Structure 1
Amino acid sequence: MTQKRDLSEDKIIQTAMKIISQDGANAATFKRIAEDLDCKTQALYFYFKNRDALNLAITNKYFDDLDNKIKTECLGYSGKEGLIKIAKVMRGFGLDNLSLSLMALRTSELSEDKSIGEAVLRLKGFMYRFIEEFVTDDQEKLTITRGIRALVIGEVVNESVGWFHNPLIKNTDSFEINLKKILK
């Protein structure tokens, strides 16, 4: 049995993320996490007062991981090319981590914690660095970032329910067509 001293917030978050990735957001109960960590459920409450607090920590970790992926994969890009790359990285990350993405979206919608807003502002900041190279109007900048976030979120949500499986056009093709329309 894992002792309390061997547990950590990060270990609990990583275990919960693994469970969510494998079995969906609802599978990451304190009972299931404790079983996977071979500890008592009560030990988890030392780190997280409830499941909402754990979901918020997972969501923050999700956004940190997305930030790091953007920083790594978008290095060396600029302008429209950089913005397209960010959109593709966000979409790919969302689809590669589908259950976590859906859980993070749900938590973001329900939580009033300021860290969620800060994560969205970081994403907006990444996009603004590239947008500012070809757009000067603030309203247009905001419209572009909102359009890209909405497109990415729509892709992830629609893929999760199978709505984009159509032989008429591949989902990646329609994503790129819509992205170019946003950037006109």
Structure 2
Amino acid sequence: MTQKRDLSAEKIVQTAKDLVLNGNADSATFSNIAKELDCKTQALYFYFKNRDELNSAIAQDYLKTLTETIKNECLGYSGKEGVVKIAKVMREFGLENLSLSLVAIKSSDLTNKKDFKYVLEINSMMEKFMDVFVQDEAKQMTITRGIRGLVIGEVVSESVGLFHNPLIKNTVSFEENLYKILS
């Protein structure tokens, strides 16, 4: 049996993420986590008051990893090409981590400065790339909102099985919509 001293918030979040990735967005119950960590459910409450708080920690970890991935994948890009690359990385990351993406979408608390910090950082990266071809701040905000909406829409639509139409590939329609937002 795992002792309380061997637990940590990070270990609990990682276990929860593993459960979500191997199951679905609802797999990270305190009971399932305790079973995986070989501890009592009550020990988890020392670190997280409830499932909402745990899901918020998962969302924060997700957004942090997404931000780091964007930084790594978009190094060397600029201008419109850079914005397109950020959008594609966000979409790809979301689809590769579909169950976690759904937890993050449902659980992100943008009034929480920790979650909002990463969203602001991603927006800032997009705005730096846009400075080359869009100077109007309101237009930049509209573009960043449009891209976030497009990416979230893609991830949610994929999660429910949409976009499997042979008429047009989902990647093609994503790019067409992305360029419409940028025009």
Normalised by the length of structure 2, the TM-score is: 0.96
Partner of 2:81: 81
Pair 1:166 & 2:158 matched: no
Partner of 1:140: 139
Alpha-carbon separation, structure 2, partners of 1:127 and 1:34: 40
How many angstroms does 1:114 deviate by?
2.9
How many angstroms does 1:121 deviate by?
1.3
- The letter for the 1-side match of 2:42 is Q
How many angstroms does 1:123 deviate by?
1.6
Alpha-carbon separation, structure 2, partners of 1:66 and 1:4: 30
Pair 1:47 & 2:78 matched: no
- The letter for the 2-side match of 1:62 is Y
Contact 2:147–2:181 (CA under 8 A) maintained in structure 1: yes
SS where residue 84 of structure 1 aligns? Answer: helix
Deviations 1:2-21 (A, max 9, x none): 11111111110000001011
Partner of 2:116: 117
Contact 2:110–2:116 (CA under 8 A) maintained in structure 1: no
Normalised by the length of structure 1, the TM-score is: 0.96
Partner of 1:105: 105
- 5+ long unaligned stretches in structure 2: none
- The letter for the 1-side match of 2:11 is K
Deviations 1:130-165 (A, max 9, x none): 011111111111111011111101100111111111
How many angstroms does 1:92 deviate by?
0.3
Alpha-carbon separation, structure 2, partners of 1:170 and 1:67: 27
Alpha-carbon separation, structure 2, partners of 1:67 and 1:165: 28
- The letter for the 1-side match of 2:157 is N
Pair 1:16 & 2:16 matched: yes
Contact 1:56–1:111 (CA under 8 A) maintained in structure 2: no
Alpha-carbon separation, structure 1, partners of 2:115 and 2:14: 19
Alpha-carbon separation, structure 2, partners of 1:27 and 1:54: 12
Alpha-carbon separation, structure 1, partners of 2:56 and 2:181: 31
Partner of 1:183: 182
Contact 1:98–1:156 (CA under 8 A) maintained in structure 2: yes
Alpha-carbon separation, structure 2, partners of 1:23 and 1:75: 33
How many angstroms does 1:32 deviate by?
0.4
- The letter for the 2-side match of 1:178 is N
Q: In percent, how many aligned pairs have the same letter? A: 62
- The letter for the 1-side match of 2:145 is R
Pair 1:29 & 2:37 matched: no
How many angstroms does 1:111 deviate by?
6.7
Alpha-carbon separation, structure 1, partners of 2:119 and 2:110: 13
